Amino acid sequence: MSVADGFATSPYLVIHRKDNAWILSDPMTREHVEVGADALAVIGALGSGAEASRWEAALANSAGWLRTVFNPGQGLWSDPTGLGERQGDDVRGADLFRLLCARRLLEPRDGRAYADYLQPLASVLDPAHLGSFNDRVGRYLIRDLRLKQSWRWWHDQKFTPDGLSIRPGPYKFVHEYFFDQYFGAKSLSGVRVLDFACGNGHFAARFARLGAKVVGLDTAPELIDLANQNHGSIASFEGVDKPENVTSALAAHAPGSFDIIYMGDVFLILAMLPDADAVVSDLLAQFTRLLAPGGRIYMLEPSGIFWLASRLGPEEAPVVVLTEYRKMLYNVAPTFDRVCRLMAQGGLALVEYVHPQASPAADPSTKAFADRFPMWDFSAWMVRGAND
């Protein structure tokens, strides 16, 4: 057997036990196949490399089940690890070998095909590469939702379809809980708030109920409609027809118009744009103009390191398999050092930084994860050199 001809396990293979089943997982590709004890023994014997015919013969009496799911329609948090229930009947022998190869848990041993698979996509529908998480969501939106209502994807995985409440899970028990604790403790009566990229106005309305005078701005017309419908009586909402026109929409407000500018789950989008430096710089120039003396920018944004990190272990004590920091593969949100660089370039200084904890009412999975790892970064910023 030449080394290049043989098939070996993925270089990142993790074998773990979940609910008394053995799972082969690759945290890089987020592929998972459950196998019986026989197959596990074969993996141990041949995993460093063997020809296809040896694998097929050795697996003849072994069973396996595909456990990979990618269904962001169920919510980012349904299982960020991508490990689901068994799919279909058991797969045996040569078919199990082919399943393990198709899911890249077994790979040509020289590793070249695997390394190539992790390269960026050539186009949105490129089937030959894994792509970032956002690429995969893009493919899902095009193929399964046909982009009819692309805003619906992120909206409905966070909110009930009517936009009136947040679905149970980390958005409710970490993001919203922290928001309510933090801003509920402040005196906001008459404070002027700009909720930048307000979405359906849920958080703009929470500011308004605390007594603030709120303007929400967003580029999604459907979400602005929903915001007006649900909360138009307590806050005002401004739709901007496209992202390129956001700067001029902000420029229409007088200098010093706001005491607080709030961003929730939006800076990640801007910071990941190819021209992020220019976009953020234009935006922050407007923000510094719009902030009244002593004003603050608050950001409640997904933690670039841990937000959708792949989890293993028991639900009540998960461990994280951290596949990336600066060199991003899953590539969902910026690291906080990148956020700091973009904000500093825009003339802002960090005045507060908190890792939000989960509500005591959180489900065990959310609570256990948020107790151990940052899910969101909360930060407060002031204009550098401004008087407090």
Site for ligand SAM, residues 130 to 169, rule: CB under 6 A: 154
Which H/E stretch holds residue 40? helix 37-46
Residue 4-43 contact track with ligand SAM, rule CB under 6 A, x = bound: ----------------------------------------
The residue among 14, 15, 17 whose CA lies nearest residue 27 is 14
Site size with ligand SAM, rule: CB under 6 A: 16
Residue 206-245 contact track with ligand SAM, rule CB under 6 A, x = bound: ------------xxx--x-------------------x--
Contact in structure between 285 and 261 (CB atoms under 8 Å): no
Part of the chain binding ligand SAM (CB under 6 A), chosen from 199-207, 324-332, 336-344, 372-380: 199-207
The least CB distance from residue 376 to ligand SAM, in Å, is 10
Site for ligand SAM, residues 242 to 301, rule: CB under 6 A: 243, 246, 264-266, 269
Two tokens, residue 351 = 């005045």
Site for ligand SAM, residues 314 to 343, rule: CB under 6 A: none
The least CB distance from residue 290 to ligand SAM, in Å, is 14
Q: Residue 44, class by beta-carbon neighbours within 10 Å (0-12 exposed, 13-18 middle, 19+ buried)?
A: exposed
Examine residue 374 and tell whether it contacts ligand SAM (CB under 6 A): no
The residue among 277, 285, 235 whose CA lies nearest residue 255 is 285
Q: What DSSP line would sit under 310-377, residue for residue? A: EEES-TTS-EEE---SSS-SS--S--HHHHHHHHHHTTEEEEEEE-PPPPTTS-HHHHHHHHHS-SEE
Largest CA distance in the chain: 77
Q: Quick one: 157 or 365, whose CB is closer to ligand SAM?
A: 157
Q: Quick one: 34 or 265, whose CB is closer to ligand SAM?
A: 265
Site for ligand SAM, residues 98 to 117, rule: CB under 6 A: none
3-state secondary structure 50-87: ECHHHHHHHCCCCEEEEEECCCHHHCCCCCCCCEEEEE
Examine residue 203 and tell whether it contacts ligand SAM (CB under 6 A): yes
Give the count of beta carbons closer than 10 Å to the beta carbon of residue 236. Answer: 17
The least CB distance from residue 240 to ligand SAM, in Å, is 6
Two tokens, residue 89 = 């009947």
Q: Quick one: 30 or 175, whose CB is closer to ligand SAM?
A: 175
Examine residue 192 and tell whether it contacts ligand SAM (CB under 6 A): no
What is d(CA 298, CA 378) in angstroms, rounded to the nearest whole number?
7
Q: What DSSP line would sit under 198-244, residue for residue? A: -TTSHHHHHHHHTT-EEEEEES-HHHHHHHHHHHTTTSEEEE-SSGG
Examine residue 197 and tell whether it contacts ligand SAM (CB under 6 A): yes
Cα distances (Å, whole numbers) of residue 355 to 12, 309, 352, 376, 379: 30, 16, 10, 6, 9
Part of the chain binding ligand SAM (CB under 6 A), chosen from 43-51, 91-99, 192-200, 317-325: 192-200
Residue whose Cβ sits closest to ligand SAM: 199
Examine residue 202 and tell whether it contacts ligand SAM (CB under 6 A): yes
In the list 47, 131, 199, 356, the residue contacting ligand SAM (rule: CB under 6 A) is 199
Residue 340-369 contact track with ligand SAM, rule CB under 6 A, x = bound: ------------------------------
Residues in touch with ligand SAM (CB under 6 A)? 154, 197-199, 202-203, 218-220, 223, 243, 246, 264-266, 269
